[in-house]
Chain A
Amino acid sequence: MDILGFLSEHIRYIYLIILMVFLGIEVISHVPSVLHTPLMSGANAIHGVVIVGAIIVMGHAEPDNYLALILGFISVILGTLNVVGGFVVTDRMLEMFKKKKK
């Protein structure tokens, strides 16, 4: 019952998930193979959105809860690495695709 109740409570998210799955498929289904790597790298940067969760963990940590403080701090660093590194690497890859004028 717990599971069913949970599903019903979050039914809007479940709709959202299903739509997002199809959107994700649709958005990239016509990508040329040249762009596979940059696209993967770009997607890699986007899932860095997990940083938002890390910020929430960090921001909610009580000042005397050292475990949460330390782990939250680590997770903020990890998430930032994912975001910053991901976007910068993707940009560097795509920089190479610039069309040169002769």
Chain B
Amino acid sequence: MEKYIVDIVYLIGSISFIIGLKMLSHPDTARRGNLYAAAGMIIAILATIFLDKTIGNYLWIFGGIAIGTIIGWIAAKKVKMTAMPQMVSLFNGMGGACASVISIVEYTRHDFSHGGAAFVAIIMAGLIIGTVSFAGSMIAFGKLNGNIGDKVFPGQKFINLVILLAAVSLAVYLSIQHHGDDTLLIVTLGIAVLYGIMFVMPIGGADMPVVISLLNSFTGVAAAFGGFVYNNQVMLTGGILVGSAGTILTILMCKAMNRSLFNVIAGAFGNTSGTSSSGDKQQGTVKEISVSDAAVLLAYSKKVFIVPGYGLAVAQAQHTCHELEKLLEDKGVEVKYAIHPVAGRMPGHMNVLLAEADVPYDKLLEMEDANSEMPNTDVSIIIGANDVVNPAARHDQSSPIYGMPILDVDKSANVIVMKRSMAAGYAGIENELFYYPNTRMLFGDAKASLTKLVSEVKAL
């Protein structure tokens, strides 16, 4: 009897994942979608614990769940908005590690006297994919946190390929053995960890969202292999669903940057530093603007675009930015935000950040809409963004970001760039926009500059 109920609960869980994911892809229903999926997860967990009569060790299970819940809940609640991407990576790594540990236990328990090469192969697949996802996610976490830099050395792709082949060959070898070999299992585990590290190491920090999304789908696949091992439908459907949706999402993210997934994985941004300086010997000089001049320019404009970037997030200046926007609106200036799809460290990063400061949703324009209004704009004010407004993407074929759609801020009458220094952006390339005749630079920390700007505008 209980077996049937478990099956039905798993079915409901699977459906809730599908519906949840579907709702997550629409702004109005997203939050409820997340809750539906969470509810499906909870009933699947409860059904497994209470209705599956083969399950014992309740104390251990509840202990583990309690520890995981407390740590996970606090970590997720405490994390700053700017550190969300790292957090997602970290939790993804936990899932990968979980799949990997399960595989280890199942391998050591497997009864080799009955053969079952295909069964062991599935255990090995779960082990390798889960481990790669874990190790890769940890490196991605470190990179986004700023603890780990990009490391590229000659022949890296070849070495990575060799490592991957070694892991796969070992897995095949272990699968066709008729006895367990714990030493080789640990060696395979070690190689998979190494591959995960080497896979993510050369990829630039700006591409981490894409990598996390890819590793996310890896973990999904690892979970699905677990479902195969246990004949467990909810693991299988949930895992495969994430595996396929995650892969598509990864490709969509790449498309938003006008790059191919291969290009990202090959670490193109990291490799090109210094090569693009051929055609862009900058002419003209960089012109600064004082805070009071900037205030006057803004206050007497008809239409202003605010272009936020990672600098805004780092400086936590979203509230000050909103204050400036309200002040200007009070003075009769039309203020809108132009949001590049990959501004910040994650797609949607800016939307989340500005929503936190209560900026109304309808003030945020997506790239196409913003670009069509750029020529009628008096001032574009760029706050901590760089590569997404670099006109080189339109015309300089030698530029690594050539072809990436950008915000055409240079088409507005005036451009004010708020920046800490002349340093290059995340892609490591110079921005010719800074040398344009209609561009003025306002150096300083985004929050400090905005605060000064706000008081100047107030004083007008």
Contact residues of A with B, CB < 8 Å?
2-3, 5-7, 10, 13, 16-17, 20-25, 27-61, 63, 67-69, 71-100, 102
Q: Does B459 contact A (CB under 8 A)?
A: no
- A-side contacts of B346, CB under 8 Å: 36-37
Q: How far is the CA of A89 from the CA of B60 in the complex (A)?
A: 26
**Contact B41 A76, beta carbon cutoff 8 Å:** no
**Contact A69 B94, beta carbon cutoff 8 Å:** no
Q: How far is the CA of A21 from the CA of B226 in the complex (A)?
A: 17
**Contact A49 B223, beta carbon cutoff 8 Å:** yes
- A-side contacts of B252, CB under 8 Å: 31, 33, 36
**Contact A37 B349, beta carbon cutoff 8 Å:** yes
- B-side contacts of A31, CB under 8 Å: 24-26, 249, 252
Task: Encode B79-105 as 1/0 by CB contact (under 8 A) with A.
Answer: 101001101101110110111011011
Instruction: Indicate whether A89 sits within 8 Å of B79 (C-beta atoms), given known contacts A48-B41, A56-B230, A82-B95.
Output: yes
Q: Which of B31, B106, B245 contacts A28 (CB 8 A)?
A: B245
Q: How far is the CA of A16 from the CA of B102 in the complex (A)?
A: 23
- For the complex, would chain B's binding face be called helix, strand, loop or mixed by DSSP majority? helix
**Contact A2 B212, beta carbon cutoff 8 Å:** no
Q: How far is the CB of B361 from chain A (nearest CB, A)?
A: 6
Task: Encode B113-142 as 1/0 by CB contact (under 8 A) with A.
Answer: 001111101000000000000000000000
Which of under 10, 10 to 19, 20 to 34, or 35 or more describes the interface residues of B? 35 or more
**Contact B91 A2, beta carbon cutoff 8 Å:** no
- B-side contacts of A92, CB under 8 Å: 76-77, 84
Task: Encode B169-186 as 1/0 by CB contact (under 8 A) with A.
Answer: 000000000000000000
**Contact A77 B67, beta carbon cutoff 8 Å:** yes
Instruction: Indicate whether A81 sits within 8 Å of B235 (C-beta atoms), given known contacts A21-B240, A50-B219, A73-B63.
Output: no
Q: How far is the CA of A71 from the CA of B248 in the complex (A)?
A: 33
Q: Does B155 contact A (CB under 8 A)?
A: no
Instruction: Indicate whether A57 sits within 8 Å of B102 (C-beta atoms), given known contacts A3-B117, A73-B64.
Output: yes
**Contact A35 B79, beta carbon cutoff 8 Å:** no
Contact residues of B with A, CB < 8 Å?
13, 17-18, 20-22, 24-27, 30-31, 33-35, 37-38, 41, 44-45, 48-49, 52, 54-57, 60-61, 63-65, 67-69, 71-73, 75-77, 79, 81, 84-85, 87-88, 90-92, 94-95, 97-99, 101-102, 104-106, 108-109, 115-119, 121, 209, 212-213, 216-217, 219-220, 222-224, 226-230, 232-249, 252-253, 256, 339, 341-342, 346-349, 351-352, 355-356, 358, 360-361, 366
Instruction: Indicate whether A40 sits within 8 Å of B88 (C-beta atoms), given known contacts A20-B244, A50-B239, A94-B34.
Output: yes
Q: How far is the CA of A82 from the CA of B242 in the complex (A)?
A: 14
**Contact B25 A49, beta carbon cutoff 8 Å:** no
Q: Which of B63, B108, B243 contacts A67 (CB 8 A)?
A: B108
Q: How far is the CA of A47 from the CA of B236 in the complex (A)?
A: 10
Q: Name 22 A/B residue pairs within 8 A (Cβ), A-sorted.
A: A13-B236, A16-B236, A28-B248, A31-B26, A34-B347, A36-B213, A37-B209, A44-B216, A46-B238, A50-B223, A50-B235, A53-B98, A75-B101, A77-B67, A80-B65, A81-B75, A87-B37, A89-B76, A91-B35, A92-B76, A97-B361, A100-B360
**Contact B94 A78, beta carbon cutoff 8 Å:** yes
Q: How far is the CB of A74 from chain B (nearest CB, A)?
A: 6
- Identity of the chain A residue whose Cβ is nearest the Cβ of B340 in the assembled complex: A33
Known: A2-B115, A33-B256. 9 other contacts (CB 8 A): A17-B236, A34-B339, A35-B27, A37-B346, A40-B209, A47-B222, A47-B242, A77-B64, A79-B98
- B-side contacts of A44, CB under 8 Å: 88, 91-92, 95, 216, 219, 242
- B-side contacts of A97, CB under 8 Å: 27, 30-31, 351-352, 355, 361
- A-side contacts of B236, CB under 8 Å: 13, 16-17, 20
- A-side contacts of B48, CB under 8 Å: 52, 55-56, 59
Instruction: Indicate whether A84 sits within 8 Å of B76 (C-beta atoms), given known contacts A27-B21, A77-B67, A97-B351.
Output: yes
Q: Which of B91, B98, B235, B341 contacts A75 (CB 8 A)?
A: B98
Q: How far is the CA of A6 from the CA of B122 in the complex (A)?
A: 11
> Which 9 pairs show the lowest CB-CB distances between chains A and B?
A80-B68, A76-B64, A24-B244, A59-B55, A6-B118, A84-B72, A88-B76, A85-B72, A49-B238
- Identity of the chain B residue whose Cβ is nearest the Cβ of A32 in the assembled complex: B27
**Contact B91 A86, beta carbon cutoff 8 Å:** yes
- Identity of the chain B residue whose Cβ is nearest the Cβ of A31 in the assembled complex: B25
**Contact B45 A55, beta carbon cutoff 8 Å:** yes
Instruction: Indicate whether A2 sits within 8 Å of B241 (C-beta atoms), given known contacts A28-B249, A46-B37, A87-B41.
Output: no
